[in-house]
Chain A
Amino acid sequence: MKTYLALIFSIIFVLMFLPNATWRILIFSFESLKTFLIAIFPVFLCTGLMDVWLEKKTMIKIMGKGSGVKGIIISLIMGMLTALPLYAVLPVASMLLKKGSKLSNVLVFIGASSNLRIPLLIFETLFIGLKFTSANIVSGIVSVLIVSFITNLILSPKDKQTLYSDSENFF
């Protein structure tokens, strides 16, 4: 409800203060919305499939407690393949939490998807160079691991408990 209200207000704001650019803004937003939706559609469908087919037990084995290094590597590769911007990958992450994945692994997944996604790496190589991309991959993996480790350390068990129970509500 809140988001709808904010949506309406922002549209009114645009129409009131920027009458010259109204069309340009609307066209730009619809264009980018279209590209996002095209990229997101298959990912959401796969998320739905995962939710239906994968049982909590197997998911805990893959990415949950005791998955260790294997779990980290799997979430890293899954993130790179998912290839979505940060705000689009969040519902997928919440599904992973619901299935009992470790929070640190989910954070690795989010970081890899936003920072190390494959289309982005391809574009970096084409526009800037292979050297830049390889340095970015190395430093990106290290930073994603550090971010997930520290965030996991700072969050108390109670915070995590509320996170897990909140993730149940989205599906």
Chain B
Amino acid sequence: MLLRQHTSIQKYTTITSKRQLINSGRWKMNTLYIIFLYLITFILFFVSFLLSPSKTFAAFKKAFKLFTIILPQFFLVTLFAGILSSIIEMKNIVSLFSIQSGMTGMFFASLAGSFTVFPVISVFPIIKEILEKGAGITQVAIFIITLTNVGFVTLPLETKFLGKKASFVRNIIAYILAFFQAFFIGQMIK
């Protein structure tokens, strides 16, 4: 039992280090953006502190309260993504819709996109791979769009902040419009 767990950890670490090696150049862009965000935040806080220290502390308190509200749900979402990634590999899902072309492929891709919670940026290397193997750009586009904009799994979280009606309507319309968006992108790239 213990041995098995140990090997699984090793497997995981080797996979991630390989991926990091491949993408190390690209990951820098994301870190740069995050550093930029932190810099702006720091400057804003500095100015705010100069103007009024008490208000700045109040802002800190509010940010902390937000954290405590969202943290358990956040952990739930990431745990769900972890379970999902252990049951099904993202690569298998993506290859499933990349083989199917036309409307069926688009339908599969849209379902895969809207029912999974995955950090989009980590999916891009796989997408590049399947595009080089000849997957359709329309299918890839609808997958990216639904992955970012439609979240049927995170709907309970969304209803908490936006209300039932607004979040349901928003998700359904975004799902339908994703097809049009993908068609447009497909036409433009041809």
Q: A residues bordering B, Cβ < 8 Å?
A: 3-4, 6-7, 10-11, 14, 18-33, 35-39, 42-49, 51-53, 83, 85-88, 90-91, 93-94, 103, 107, 110-111, 114-115, 118-120, 122-124, 126-128, 131-132, 135-136, 138-140, 143, 146-147, 150-151, 154-155, 159, 162-163, 166-167, 170-171
Contact = CB atoms under 8 A, between A and B. Distances in A.
B76 A10 contact: yes
B16 to A, nearest CB: 8
Main secondary structure, interface of B, reads helix
A68 B170 CA distance: 21
Main secondary structure, interface of A, reads helix
A115 B144 CA distance: 9
Contact of A86 (B1, B131, B148): B148
A43 B132 CA distance: 36
A53 B48 contact: yes
A7 B86 contact: no
A36 B185 CA distance: 29
Interface of B: 1, 4-5, 8-9, 11-12, 16, 26, 29-30, 33-34, 37-38, 40-41, 44-45, 48, 55-56, 58-63, 65-67, 69-70, 72-83, 85-87, 117, 119-121, 124-125, 127-128, 131, 137, 140-141, 144-145, 148-149, 151, 154, 157-158, 160-163, 165-166, 169-170, 173-174, 177-178, 180-181, 184-185, 188-189
